[in-house]
Structure 1
Amino acid sequence: MSSSLAKIRILLLVAAVFFGGAVVPTRCLYFNFPSFPNNSTEHLKLSNNAKIFKDAIQVTPDVRVASIANESGRAVYKVPFLIRNNGKIASFNTTFELNISPVSTPVGGEGLAFILAADGSRPGDSDGQWLGIVNASTNGTPEAQIVAVEFDTRKNFPQDIDSNHVGLNLNSVFSIIEQPLSEFGVNLSSGISVFAMIRYDGENISVFVSMSNKTEDLLKNNVIFQALNLSILPDNVYVGFSGSTSDFTQLNCVKSWQFNGTDVSDGRHKRLWIWLTVGVVGGVVICGAVIGLVYHFWMRKRVLNYPEEPYEGIEHQLQHISIAPRAQKFGLRELKKATGNFNPKNGLGKGGFGTVYKGNLMNRDVAVKKISEDSRQGKQEFIAEVATIGSLHHKNLVNLIGWCYEKRDLLLVYEYMPNGSLDKLIFGCDKMGASSWETRQNIICGVAEALDYLHNGCEKTVLHRDVKSSNIMLDSKFEAKLGDFGLARTMHRTDQTHHSTREIAGTPGYMAPEIFLTSRVTAETDVYAFGVLVLEVICGRRPGNPMDLGSYDGSIAHWVWEFHKEQRLVEAVDERLEGQFVREEIEYLLILGLACCHPNPLQRPTMRNVLQVLKGEANPPILPDERPSFVWPPMPPSFKDDTDSSLKDSQLTPFTELSGR
């Protein structure tokens, strides 16, 4: 609840007291069914064969003497939920207990789903594989108007990951994201109660599933965290459950259910605000007026002393995103003590998002990032970084230890990198001069592995959007670890190829030319930044800022391409290496860097291609002598993403040994 809304309510209360009454607001949509006695039907809409039986909702029939094959049902709360009003999007939190008991042998089927639907009634012919969500006619069509979180117990389609998973479905039974539950110790078809929590904050949906009813155990199993736009739904929806059986049968039971949805009304919807006026005697009027005035002045003083929280609701979001079970929450006092009250002497670096300090927590060196109050997108950057890096695991990614939000401060705690950032190694005094060519190779390979993991190794493609030398951290062995995910975005691996931005994000010098034209970031724009990084490490030269010159003539890529054009590429190499390198290796890497910086995004190699070159499984791409001009739309590619047979049979020697994750 916002503070402004709270103030309005207080003033209304005071006004009502003055005019001889008391005002009592009621919640828009809140209900709690610890169980389902027979009179629960007064509040529920049961479709087809859904029934209340044994203090539970039997979404599909529980009949011992008749067949329960090829059935479907739906049970929803009778009062619709307003999810959208004048641009405001509602949030909700719901928890429920499911019990799915196989009847047919050796396995049951088909499944249950939590739904938000335009229609509270079950669609016809929605038994079997359709889970009561859609049917053959409406599947995948806008007319379906339904969002479902499926608890699927049978693999019916090639798209299904297994017969024990949770999926998020939009107007279809084909999930946009699925998560097998076996790795979380959950068996939907065990005949034992399964507990679930679903949270939606207006932008992202989180699904938690556990065999335990303890909240702390439930929050450890964040099986889905996904951006979700509810624009496919009308403003008012029904919330509830659907389920089905096929020739394979099971009992689909909901044993308890709680729902809490926020109010996005503007006061014109009677069901959202019901004002009950109760007459009171004159003495109560006077007392109420005095109390109201005192409270008003106290609140005014409090607001002046304690300004409104700038990031309202952030604590709620952090409670349920995927890092919560693994990353520790720290108190501000702990982090102040660890960093010497954020002593500038402990500063490790400063960027657009904030300052990083060295600290010591529990006898362990850490890096504490304090988000700048001047950052225009402080909350978004904070949430993006926590949500993204907290769900990733790779030896070449910086490890997130914990977080803190307290007294308007946003802080992140990382593992400490004793050798600092790559840019300091390259340009700080003579450190880089002392480093060997092998060290530089290893750094390049480490960053390549990190980006290949983000683009190809995660459940969802992750676009880093800010690959640069200052975001590459070096551990005690100079192993590279990619960090700073404040601009990172995730995409599905289906038909989504890019992420559109309202404003251009990234660091000049590392940004691909098409970003300025399209405001779109893709895997190819990450590849471009990686190419700039490769050239920067090999040449010991800053990438430059093409914006200063109004063109790309000032970039390191253009500078190196001139050496390539004149067939003296090795002369671009950092003089501090003093020739201590294998000429063929360094030329290959320079060509690879230029290929990644190709003006045509479709001509750039993928990060998978890059690793093939680094491992000696493929030759570097062939480049023209002249640097191609940037043309939009881009010309069709000649460098294929898919590895052909000639690459598989390559006998090239790898530059360095790449170990597994």
Structure 2
Amino acid sequence: MAPSRRPQSASTAGFAVILLLYAISVCSLLPAVVAQSATFTRTVGGTDFTTFSFPSFDITLMKLPGNLTFSNNATVSSYALQITPDTRNDPDKFLVNRAGRIMFATPYVLWASNASNSSADGRRVASFSTVFKINLYRANASVKGEGLTFVVASGGGAEPPPGSVGGYLGLTNASTDGSAANGFAAVEFDSVKQPYDPDDNHVGLDVNGVQSKVAASLTPFGIELAPALTNTTDDGSSMVWVEYNGTSRHVWVYMSRNDIRPATPVLNASLDLSTVLLNKTAYFGFSASTGVAYQLNCVHMWNMTVEILPGAATSGKKEALSGWKLGVTIGVPSAFALALGLFLGLYIRNRRRRIGDDPNSLFHNTIDLTSMAGVPKEFDYKELRKGTNNFDEKMKLGEGGYGVVYRATVVGEHGQTVEVAVKQFSGANTKGQEDFLAELSIINLLRHRNLVKLLGWCHQNGVLLLVYDFMPNGSLDRHLFGGPESPVLTWEQRYKIVAGVASALNYLHHEYDQRVIHRDLKPSNIMLDKDFNARLGDFGLARALESDKTSYTDLIGVPGTLGYIAPECFHTGRATRESDVFGLGAVILEIVSGRRVSYSNQVGCSQLLEGVWQLHGAGEGRVLEAVDRRLADGEFDEDDAERLLLLGLACSHPNPGERPRAKEIVQILTRAAPAPEVPAAKPAFMWPVQPVSAFAGEDGEMPTSGVSTAMTSSSSYSYYASSAGWTTQNYLLSRDHDLITDRDPSTV
């Protein structure tokens, strides 16, 4: 019977293809629905929120009703909203003294009287948050033009008032400026100085007029509107976050030249929309203008989340359909959906069996994710795909052997738009599934302030995704090794980062119910939050040990990154808490010196480690020459610098039994214990090492009350160095660190 099944499937698939092609030919005249905004509603804690999202803009938006309304001067071009004309032809005719508006077509109820949870005045005001990307581009490189605004307006009309060009920003005109009858509030991004403006590079809150209620220069924040561009890779765009709290009736505006929302707002002010708007409903959108000077005023993306007040509708008016219109509207898409469903059903069923997304696959039979203790939220794949702009390369935060991490925008617990990091595993094959399950099963139960928080997961369409808290300051390696353009970490920040990582490691090794071994401690796996607190992440290689075990053996070899792998691991193939401490030692030395470990081809030969050890043995105070030369004298505490360098050497001891435990490391960093005693010369690595259990204390670990000076003679060190093909001068750091390279370590 088996041979007859294949022709039957082929026949069914062939019929589905024919029907699908017919449906496509009929539906080709329909508008492109992909051009519309993605809109969805969520309920969080009893409060409803609605969100719409435009990751980019398509020209078909101008032909689709119910999305955006455009003024005569506004268009969509280059996948962006052009609030004022976008042309280089005869600019004096088409660009001078123009005003434009683009508004979201659906009104929102922004305040209600006598509503539940209302304030003392009997009104409840809706909260909202939005993020958008603006680009004020100089069409004439020598001068700036007027700016643009994000506006909340009582009326949804697209055409700006007559005479609202120049400094009126498409909002008002000379006769109506300041009138309460205008009924709008706007955040202006102004690049021309009027007599009432602080400068030609500012943000302001406008209420019923263009003389801002509150204004602030953007120059102190390192942001310039409409910059004179000299770098062809920089288009001068800025990300903007506007957050409005309806309870406190306050607005905050944040801006950044990159995609990371800063901790400090560029503007914050009180704003009671219930006293500004003429009606309870209002529209959101953008306005802009040009004057004698002109520029292009563009919006590249726009996401918005609005609280739905009790009893408020979530959509605008709907046109009634009848007769043949109703038949076409329902019938054609239904036929298309049926054909598409038949075709894709056959394809997806076979594909899922191959990639493990079918309920009968080994992945689902092995573990039920929803039954795991403490399992976080399951995200919908469509939401994550939308939030990453279809996993756009521009949204990529980093990548490694596991896969890729993307920045995404999703709806948070309280309905507001939040940024997250989405880790996409390289494949849904057996190895990808193992890495996904290992990371999810371990980190979903971990709770510590210095660990990256797991927010959720997704396994759909054959894709394995984990969702984490977004870390605004990225990974530690970007700050240490990012080049001359990267801001230099202060000494206080460095010490706090070391203390945070050590605290996280102590939690994994001693405080959590199980012993967890991270196995991949390195700067790229240490993330920094908005306050530069360290958050240890990437638990793809981590393993939780059973209560009677002290090590984990990987049958496929030694995972991790050269320079951070303890030398004994190459002989035993086992990862232990002592090998984690070795990785921490390398990280400490990198943080203090600002240099990479720069691994050699010989096992155990880190140029950075050898150089610091040589400086330590060279004489009184020489070890401080290893401190990052970007930290000038007086910019770091010498006692604490020496404490960290000695601790880094102690953690990097060749023999695992001589390394301090995580508990002791925390005590040293809190200054509750003195810096460890470290031999003047690096001890030789001995194999076989004495088993840890032979010297173990109560918890099965090596005693580390002090670092032993056994096997520290210069002869033993010279033997080890010469056998590895190195001489003392290879290891010695000059005062300018000239003998340390910044070569990236190889990954195993």
If the length of structure 2 is used for normalisation, what is the TM-score? 0.44
Question: Max radius of gyration: which structure?
Answer: 2
TM-score, structure 1 length as denominator? Answer: 0.50
